[in-house]
């Protein structure tokens, strides 16, 4: 049996396979560039592990208070080395990306301070944290105010608007790298660096924090290489390498990280407590795998964009544009197409492939949402996954893929489902 027949045995019609292979043939140079960055980042991670003298003893965890957890402490040195920061907090007690971002915001602001978002509205879940949407326990309840400067057309920074928004109470600036569910572009680490430089030229002591979710290892540099005081993210996205079962990280200056540790545990205890439990081995192996897995996810995003552009759908980013995160948005234009796409991703999953996802109401969303994921770690979006709010323009957001071969199969399965439902023609 050859590969085409094997795909057919798993439900991909030969004409779907052939159609997708044509797109793939045009991507060799792109994939080579991605492999070169992954190679660079693999060496960066190995060097950080070697510099921290990671040994077998570090792979074992602690329980209880977690005093003298040498594996946890060395892992934090590894992260600080990768992000070129003074320190890092990498903990299983940080539940997810929102928790890490919330921790960083609460720890580094005080009553009377103001947070500025200079790139438009932050990620949906941060609206509750900041109190943009009235929420119990928000920063607004603690007297921390919020200001936002929207982007100009073309995802340009509104430098004059930002200058006017900064005042003596501006304490922290939150910059989201990835577009999230917005329609703007994702920012490169360099362009974030330019923005930070501008902000610091107006107020040098303002803390510049970057929401780095989905951006890690896509480029050779991270926002912390361009002046960010803190970079923040989730371990069930890129840096967990698909192996971390939970966790978040904050890498940054000594002062910022110390404040985060005091807030996560208790003032006076800080980084000294917090058992790694049984997570150290998975955290180390995850960060070791992360450059390759990020590359696989990026290849999947580019493959999806090139197939769907040929099918006539608008893709954001476009297939041939430079990438700064692993998210691919595709405007499918109808509920039926969003459902077919997500059902295709689900049907290709290693876990729960027999489940058929349908749109449903979700807390925090103003429309029905469909989600597809058959993941080893619940909610892990570095694993092949897709979701779409059921409202115009009927975008689907697609990300992840632990192996390129599986991601390729998943994307072909989305095309298969669209084809079976008569939503596309293959010519």
Ligand X SMILES: *Cc1c(COP(=O)(O)O)cnc(C)c1O
Instruction: Provide the β-strand partners of residue 20.
Output: none
Q: Exactly one of 128, 180, 239, 291 binds ligand X (CB under 6 A); which one?
A: 180
What is the smallest separation between the CB atom of 101 and ligand X, expressed in angstroms? 6
How many residues make contact with ligand X (CB under 6 A)?
13
Contact 335, 51 (CB under 8 A): no
What is the smallest separation between the CB atom of 392 and ligand X, expressed in angstroms? 22
**How far is residue 249's CA from residue 256's CA, in Å, rounded to a whole number?**
13
Q: Exactly one of 61, 66, 71, 97 binds ligand X (CB under 6 A); which one?
A: 97
Of 290 and 418, CB closest to ligand X: 290
* Part of the chain binding ligand X (CB under 6 A), chosen from 206-214, 218-226, 270-278, 307-315: 206-214
* Part of the chain binding ligand X (CB under 6 A), chosen from 46-54, 146-154, 164-172, 175-183: 175-183
DSSP string, 103-148: HHHHHT--TT-EEEEBTBS--HHHHHHHTSS--TT-GGGGT-EEEE
Side-chain-facing half-sphere of 166: CA atoms under 13 Å = 22
Of 324, 310, 120, 71, residue with least CA distance to 213: 324
What is the smallest separation between the CB atom of 180 and ligand X, expressed in angstroms? 4
Of 138 and 234, CB closest to ligand X: 234
Q: 205: how many CB neighbours lie within 10 A of its CB?
A: 7
**How far is residue 189's CA from residue 221's CA, in Å, rounded to a whole number?**
7
What is the smallest separation between the CB atom of 417 and ligand X, expressed in angstroms? 25
Restricted to residues 356-415, the positions that interact with ligand X (CB under 6 A) are: none
- 96 contributes a contact to ligand X by CB under 6 A: yes
Instruction: Provide the β-strand partners of residue 120.
Output: 118
What is the smallest separation between the CB atom of 327 and ligand X, expressed in angstroms? 7
Restricted to residues 213-232, the positions that interact with ligand X (CB under 6 A) are: 213-214
Restricted to residues 61-80, the positions that interact with ligand X (CB under 6 A) are: none
Instruction: Provide the β-strand partners of residue 249.
Output: 90, 233
Alpha-helical segments (H) within 151-279? 159-165, 189-202, 254-264
- As to burial, measured by CB atoms within 10 angstroms (0-12 exposed, 13-18 middle, 19+ buried), residue 293 is buried
Restricted to residues 103-162, the positions that interact with ligand X (CB under 6 A) are: 123, 125
Q: Angle at CA 131, nearest 5°, toward 129 and 135?
A: 80
Pairing of strands 314-316, 328-331: antiparallel
* Part of the chain binding ligand X (CB under 6 A), chosen from 176-184, 193-201, 221-229, 406-414: 176-184
Of 54 and 342, CB closest to ligand X: 342
Of 96 and 407, CB closest to ligand X: 96
Strands lying side by side in the sheet with 369-373: 314-316, 328-331, 395-399, 385-389, 369-373
Q: Exactly one of 87, 114, 211, 383 binds ligand X (CB under 6 A); which one?
A: 211
Question: Which residue, judged by CB position, is nearest to ligand X in the bound state?
Answer: 97
Q: Exactly one of 81, 138, 234, 292 binds ligand X (CB under 6 A); which one?
A: 234
Of 104 and 423, CB closest to ligand X: 104
Pairing of strands 207-211, 230-234: parallel
Of 123 and 249, CB closest to ligand X: 123
Residue 181 φ/ψ region, left for φ over 0, alpha for ψ in the -120 to 50 degree band, beta for the rest: alpha
What is the smallest separation between the CB atom of 344 and ligand X, expressed in angstroms? 22
* Part of the chain binding ligand X (CB under 6 A), chosen from 68-76, 79-87, 211-219, 220-228: 211-219
What is the smallest separation between the CB atom of 179 and ligand X, expressed in angstroms? 8
Give the DSSP H/E element, type plus range, for residue 169. Answer: none
Q: Exactly one of 62, 81, 170, 178 binds ligand X (CB under 6 A); which one?
A: 178
Of 85 and 381, CB closest to ligand X: 381
**Could you list the residues that contact ligand X (CB under 6 A)?**
96-98, 101, 123, 125, 176, 178, 180, 211, 213-214, 234
């Amino acid at each position: 049996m050859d590969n085409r027949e094997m795909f057919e045995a798993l439900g991909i019609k030969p004409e779907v396979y052939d159609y997708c292979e044509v797109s793939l043939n045009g991507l060799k140079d792109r994939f080579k560039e991605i492999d070169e960055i992954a190679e660079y980042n693999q060496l960066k991670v190995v060097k950080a592990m070697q510099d921290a003298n990671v040994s077998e003893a570090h792979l074992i965890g602690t329980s209880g208070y977690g005093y003298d957890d040498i594996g946890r402490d060395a892992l934090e040195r590894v992260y600080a080395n990768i992000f070129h920061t003074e320190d890092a907090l990498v903990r299983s007690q940080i539940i997810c990306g929102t928790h890490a971002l919330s921790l960083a915001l609460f720890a580094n602001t005080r009553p009377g301070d103001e947070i500025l978002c200079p790139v438009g509205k932050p990620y949906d879940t941060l609206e509750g944290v900041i109190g943009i949407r009235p929420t119990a326990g928000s920063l607004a309840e603690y007297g921390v105010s919020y200001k936002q400067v929207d982007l100009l057309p073309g995802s340009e920074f509104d430098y004059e608007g930002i200058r006017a928004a900064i005042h003596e109470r501006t304490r922290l600036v939150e910059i989201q790298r990835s577009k999230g569910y917005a329609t703007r572009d994702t920012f490169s680490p360099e362009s974030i660096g330019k923005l930070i430089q501008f902000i610091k030229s107006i107020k040098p002591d303002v803390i510049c924090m970057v929401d780095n979710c989905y951006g890690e290892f896509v480029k050779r540099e991270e926002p912390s290489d361009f002046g960010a005081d803190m970079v923040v993210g989730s371990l069930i996205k890129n840096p967990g390498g698909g192996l971390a079962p939970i966790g978040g990280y904050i890498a940054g200056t000594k002062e910022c990280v110390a404040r985060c540790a005091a807030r996560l545990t208790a003032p006076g205890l800080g980084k000294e407590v917090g058992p790694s439990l049984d997570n150290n081995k998975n955290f180390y192996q995850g960060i070791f795998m992360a450059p390759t897995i990020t590359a696989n996810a990026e290849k999947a995003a580019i493959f999806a964009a090139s197939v769907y552009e040929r099918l006539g759908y608008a893709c954001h980013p476009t297939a041939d544009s430079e990438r700064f995160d692993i998210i691919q948005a595709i405007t499918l234009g109808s509920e039926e197409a969003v459902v077919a796409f997500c059902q295709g991703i689900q049907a290709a999953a290693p876990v729960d492939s027999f489940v058929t996802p349908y749109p449903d109401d979700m807390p925090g969303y103003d429309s029905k949402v469909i989600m597809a994921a058959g993941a080893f770690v619940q909610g892990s979006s570095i694993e092949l996954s897709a979701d779409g709010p059921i409202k115009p323009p009927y975008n689907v957001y697609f990300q992840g893929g632990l192996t390129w071969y599986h991601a390729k199969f998943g994307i072909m399965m989305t095309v298969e489902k669209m084809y079976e439902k008569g939503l596309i023609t293959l010519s």
